[in-house]
Amino acid sequence: MSKPNIQLDNNGRLKHFLTIDGLKREMLNEILDTAESFTGVSERVVKKVPLLRGKTICNLFFENSTRTRTTFEVAAKRLSADVLNLNVSTSSTTKGETLLDTLRNLEAMHVDMFVIRHSDSGAAHFFATHAAPHISVINAGDGQHAHPTQAMLDMFTIRRHKGEFTGLRVAIVGDILHSRVARSQILALNTLGTSEVRVIAPRTLLPPDPRTMGVHVFHDLEEGIKDVDVIIMLRLQKERMTGALLPSEHEYFQLYGLTEKRLKAAKPDAIVMHPGPINRGVEMDSQVADGPRSVILQQVSFGIAVRMAVMSMTMGTQAQGAAAR
């Protein structure tokens, strides 16, 4: 971690937001605190502040997404920025345009920020490395690497309900091996000083040595969620079934599906989270998803505030660079 973090500018402020890796606890807290002050904006008559007026933000999605893209779009609009939505899977790359060509063309349209989702790990880093110096890049999910804004909105939701991270026991359930969400969550939870982070998954959906990630490993759901404060269910990607990593959805639910009955093992005030969209009857049954412990829809609302925070913080450093010139 001694190499310079390209996410930070010369003053140590957030310039790009690509991964939780390498960011200090103070920075994560600054994002959470800033997000806190943005939550009020969404509840007002005029749901807009003029902070990024005249800026152009490009949502560049090489992978399908509804929720993430929409909340980034809403966040940008509530900051008064102009938004360009590009679903590139249906666009130029199918005509043979390279990632760098795409970047150069959008730069020529004077875009100030890229929000990028791509199936290749490292795509957002590539953009941040090659983009003109005044441009900020936010990673909206790259391959199996990272999804830092999702992790931060989860941290925000946990902090809202539980306060401090010290003393908390958090369990992440599901496909840890392929999940960029889980990877970012584990980094964020540990950076923020969570007392115990647990992962609960079948062996086929765990990396070879999960303990190096700073987690406790469980293979049994009820044992794993015993006395936890927070349960994070991950989305099960259907294509894992075809990869022979899992026998069937039905069997997965039998072993790892969260039900009211199983939830009793957790603390009585434990909250249940899910990055969405939920496969009802696979990761959890509807009773839990719509029940009093579920904070899944709050995660969506908080996602807007967190993305507003990250966008304004990174654009703010861009401004500083301009003044220095």
Partner 1 sequence: MQAEAIEGLITEMAQAIKTRLEVQQATEPAMIGIHTGGVWLAERLHRLLNIEQPLGTLDISFYRDDFTRIGMNPKVKPSQIPFEVEDRHIILVDDVLQTGRTIRAAMNEIFDYGRPASIILATLVERSGRELPIQPSIVGVRPPLTHEQQITLTGPDPLNLIIGTSKQETRGTS
Q: Is 276 in the site for partner 1 (CB under 8 A)?
A: no
Which residues 38-67 are close enough to bind partner 1 by CB under 8 A?
39-41, 44-46, 48-51
What are 301's two structure tokens? 């609302």
Q: Is 323 in the site for partner 1 (CB under 8 A)?
A: yes
Catalytic residue among 15, 69, 78, 117: 117
In this structure, which long-range contacts are made by residues 53-56, counting pairs with CB atoms below 8 Å and at least 24 apart in sequence?
53/80, 53/81, 54/82, 55/81, 55/82, 55/112, 55/113, 55/315, 56/81, 56/82, 56/83, 56/84, 56/109, 56/110, 56/111, 56/112, 56/113
Q: Is 322 in the site for partner 1 (CB under 8 A)?
A: yes
Catalytic residue among 67, 161, 219, 262: 67
User: What is the total count of residues that contact partner 1 (CB under 8 A)?
Assistant: 25
**Contacting partner 1 (CB under 8 A), which of 36, 97, 120, 196?**
36
Task: Give min distance, CB of 23 to partner 1, in A.
Answer: 14
Q: Is 119 in the site for partner 1 (CB under 8 A)?
A: no
Please indicate whether residue 262 is annotated as part of the active site.
Answer: no
Task: Give min distance, CB of 80 to partner 1, in A.
Answer: 10
Tell me the three state secondary structure of residue 111. coil
Catalytic residue among 3, 66, 94, 95: 95
Q: Is 133 in the site for partner 1 (CB under 8 A)?
A: no
Question: What secondary structure does DSSP assign to 48-90, as a single string?
Answer: --STTTT-EEEEEESS--SHHHHHHHHHHHHTT-EEEEEEGGG
Q: What is the DSSP secondary structure assignment for residue 117, as one 8-state letter? A: E
Q: Which residue has the tokens 């402020």?
A: 13
Q: Is 313 in the site for partner 1 (CB under 8 A)?
A: yes
Give yes or no for a contact between 194 and 256, defined as CB atoms under 8 angstroms apart.
no
**Contacting partner 1 (CB under 8 A), which of 22, 143, 207, 316?**
316
Cis amide bond preceding 277, omega within 30: yes
Q: Which residues bind partner 1 (CB under 8 A)?
A: 13, 30, 33-34, 36-37, 39-41, 44-46, 48-51, 312-313, 315-317, 319-320, 322-323
For the annotated catalytic residues, the residue numbers are 67-68, 95, 117, 147
